């Protein structure tokens, strides 16, 4: 089954670090730009960052730039989010999402999401 599954979430103290993983299955992972999107409790979705298929282009939201690092292992079909200097406002559920480009209409969208892994930053 085509799927994304996140892991690595948990409870961490402010200032601490956490490493999230996203395992991709049953699709050609190497062809897609991948993203991280988070959702704080009671809030809407927030884009965290993206990485192109060959890792050449990596982009971050201003709120995490300099603290978070996105990487990927195409041979292992895995996406990673290294989170350092964590803050309370980083608490939430973190989803990985596949970006799909529709060439007929020139649109793109997130067509496959993982169920998410929860991160709680608290002392």
Partner 1 sequence: EIVLTQSPGTLSLSPGERATLSCRASQVVKSDSLTWYQQKPGQAPRLLIYGGSTRAAGIPDRFSGSGSGTDFTLTISRLEPEDSAVYHCQQYGYSPLTFGGGTKVEIE
Please report whether residue 41 would count as binding partner 1 according to CB under 8 A: no
Please report whether residue 111 would count as binding partner 1 according to CB under 8 A: yes
Q: Which is nearer to partner 1, 103 or 123 (CB)?
A: 103
CA angle (115 as vertex; 112, 2 as ends), nearest 5: 40
Q: Which of 62, 75, 103, 123 binds partner 1 (CB under 8 A)?
A: 62
β-partners of residue 80 are 21, 71
Burial of 112 (0-12, 13-18, 19+ CB in 10 A): middle
- Residue 108 CB, nearest approach to partner 1 (Å): 7
- Residue 49 CB, nearest approach to partner 1 (Å): 9
């Amino acid at each position: 089954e085509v799927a994304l599954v996140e892991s690595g979430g948990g409870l961490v103290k402010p200032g601490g670090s956490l490493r999230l993983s996203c395992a991709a299955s049953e699709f050609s992972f190497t062809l897609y730009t991948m993203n991280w999107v988070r959702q704080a409790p009671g809030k809407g979705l927030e884009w965290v960052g993206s990485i192109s298929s060959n890792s050449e282009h990596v982009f971050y939201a201003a709120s995490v730039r300099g603290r978070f690092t996105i990487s990927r292992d195409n041979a292992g079909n895995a996406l990673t989010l290294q989170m350092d200097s964590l803050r309370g406002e980083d608490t939430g559920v973190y989803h990985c999402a596949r970006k799909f480009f529709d060439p007929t209409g020139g649109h793109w969208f997130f067509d496959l999401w993982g169920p998410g892994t929860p991160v709680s930053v608290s002392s």
